[in-house]
């Protein structure tokens, strides 16, 4: 019997000079795919405008703009590569999904908020989509409407699956090595991160505001701060008393540092949901327009605190976060919450199509 050919994966995340969440999620899935199926072929399509594009460890086709705006180029790459599975992470025109489907690929669409989820459920897109994964827990994004559920049933397509946050689980050896590298002690530091490092709020880099808040937090509490700036941060890294400055971490490193922290001050993107899944007391601060609704849902569920990105407001809320009352209040709700990890669900779904 001839050996079965190696499966070919194509990852097409949104990529730009600002955000990084979709790319990081695709990288996490790609790494787990490679671990599960070592002979799998993996390729990315990225915008050359994204600072991390040149660092991608997998073969990558670089485009002049985000893939969604490069319809012909993406379709040509798919025709040349002939993937078995294409993952569109919050990206893709309908015509690109249709083209992948016509090539015989399994088409997966990932959405992270209601607008993207609704887009993925449009009949023209749903007809050529084999899986629609929502990377939010249902308590954040809410259920789909009865009308959408009926529509999908009539065209014999499954409803979007809420898989929750996608991240690599922490492990003791990686965590110990990182704590030793940065001279940190478990549960004796606060982690700060404003996402990719490229987000601006009122013309100021959110990362700079977070870094100053990290410095003020150390002065007020005496607890070491750890500031992860992110790969899109464009400036020289500052030196701040009481702050361990880290340029960037991959997801496995970030998760291990997060799991070891006493608490975290994070933007309202994927890392917020990862912190909640790890039952970590967190102050969530919006750095982009899609984040406030997600943060509000988390505040309502009492699994995170939240505040606006203004230094004095941040300082006051960080004090509340680190107080015994604040830690206890969040810990009580977080411990009731079920563990959310989408990566295991992702691999289980992919296993239905890949039998090696």
Q: What mean pLDDT comes out for the span 47-63? A: 92
pLDDT above 70: residue 110: yes
129 near 94, Cβ under 8 Å? no
pLDDT above 60: residue 324: yes
pLDDT above 90: residue 254: yes
Question: Above pLDDT 70, what percent of the chain?
Answer: 97
Read off φ and ψ for residue 194, nearest 5 degrees.
-105, 35
Report the range of poorest mean pLDDT among 69-78, 155-164, 321-330.
321-330
Distances in whole angstroms, Cα of residue 227 to Cα of each of 73, 181, 230? 38, 15, 9
Q: What mean pLDDT comes out for the span 309-338? A: 86
Q: Are strands 204-205 and 200-201 parallel, antiparallel or unpaired?
A: antiparallel
How much is the pLDDT for 335? 73
pLDDT above 80: residue 167: yes
- Cα dihedral 349, 254, 40, 87 sign: positive
Q: What mean pLDDT comes out for the span 37-64? A: 93
Q: Can you tell me whether residue 27 is helix, strand or coil?
A: helix
pLDDT above 50: residue 3: no
181 near 226, Cβ under 8 Å? no
67 near 314, Cβ under 8 Å? no
Q: Which residue has the tokens 């084999």?
A: 130
How much is the pLDDT for 326? 86
Q: What mean pLDDT comes out for the span 19-43? A: 92
How much is the pLDDT for 223? 97
pLDDT above 70: residue 295: yes
How much is the pLDDT for 4? 60
Q: How many other β-carbons are positioned within 10 Å of the β-carbon of residue 171? A: 12
Q: Judge if pTM exceeds 0.75.
A: yes
The pLDDT tens digits of the residues spanning 169-210 come to 899 999 999 999 999 999 999 999 999 898 999 899 999 999
Q: What mean pLDDT comes out for the span 317-330? A: 90
Q: Is 80 exposed, middle or buried (0-12, 13-18, 19+ CB in 10 A)?
A: exposed
CA distance 147 to 122: 12
Q: What mean pLDDT comes out for the span 153-162? A: 94
How much is the pLDDT for 1? 33
How much is the pLDDT for 329? 85
Structure tokens at 122: 């449009």
Question: Above pLDDT 90, what percent of the chain?
Answer: 74
pLDDT above 90: residue 74: yes
pLDDT above 90: residue 342: no
pLDDT above 80: residue 94: yes
Q: Can you tell me whether residue 54 is helix, strand or coil?
A: helix
Candidates 20, 346, 350, 348; CA nearest to 165 is: 346
Q: What's the chain's average pLDDT?
A: 92
Torsion angle, CA of 111/113/116/122, rounded to 10 degrees?
A: 90
CA distance 313 to 215: 14
Q: What mean pLDDT comes out for the span 135-156? A: 91
């Amino acid at each position: 019997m001839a050996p079965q050919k190696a499966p070919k994966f194509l990852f097409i995340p949104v990529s730009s000079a600002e955000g990084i969440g979709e790319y990081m999620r695709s990288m996490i899935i790609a790494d787990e795919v490679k671990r599960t199926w070592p002979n799998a072929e993996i390729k990315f399509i990225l915008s050359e405008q994204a600072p991390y594009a040149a660092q991608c460890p997998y073969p990558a086709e670089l485009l002049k703009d985000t893939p969604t705006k490069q319809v012909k180029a993406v379709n040509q790459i798919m025709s040349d590569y002939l993937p078995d599975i294409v993952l569109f992470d919050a990206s893709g025109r309908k015509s690109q999904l249709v083209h992948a489907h016509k090539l015989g690929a399994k088409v997966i669409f990932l959405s992270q908020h209601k607008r993207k989820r609704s887009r993925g459920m449009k009949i023209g897109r749903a007809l050529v989509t084999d899986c629609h994964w929502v990377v939010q827990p249902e308590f954040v994004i809410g259920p789909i409407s009865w009308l959408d559920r009926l529509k999908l049933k009539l065209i014999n397509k499954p409803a979007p699956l809420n898989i929750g946050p996608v991240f690599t689980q922490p492990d003791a050896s990686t965590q110990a090595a990182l704590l030793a590298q940065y001279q940190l002690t478990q549960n004796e530091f606060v982690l700060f991160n404003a996402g990719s490092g490229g987000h601006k709020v009122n013309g100021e880099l959110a990362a700079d505001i977070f870094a100053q808040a990290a410095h003020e937090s150390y002065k007020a509490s005496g607890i070491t701060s750890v500031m992860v700036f992110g790969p899109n941060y464009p400036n020289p890294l500052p030196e701040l008393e009481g702050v361990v400055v880290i340029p960037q971490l991959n997801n496995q490193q970030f998760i291990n540092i997060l799991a070891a922290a006493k608490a975290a001050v994070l933007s309202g993107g994927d890392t917020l949901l990862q912190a909640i899944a790890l039952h970590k007391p967190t102050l969530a601060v919006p750095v982009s327009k899609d984040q406030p609704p997600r943060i509000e849902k988390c505040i309502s569920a009492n699994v995170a605190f939240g505040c606006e990105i203004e230094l004095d407001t941040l300082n006051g809320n960080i004090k509340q976060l680190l107080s015994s009352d604040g830690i206890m209040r969040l810990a009580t709700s977080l411990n009731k919450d079920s563990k959310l990890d989408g990566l295991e669900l992702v691999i289980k779904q992919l296993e239905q199509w890949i039998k090696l």
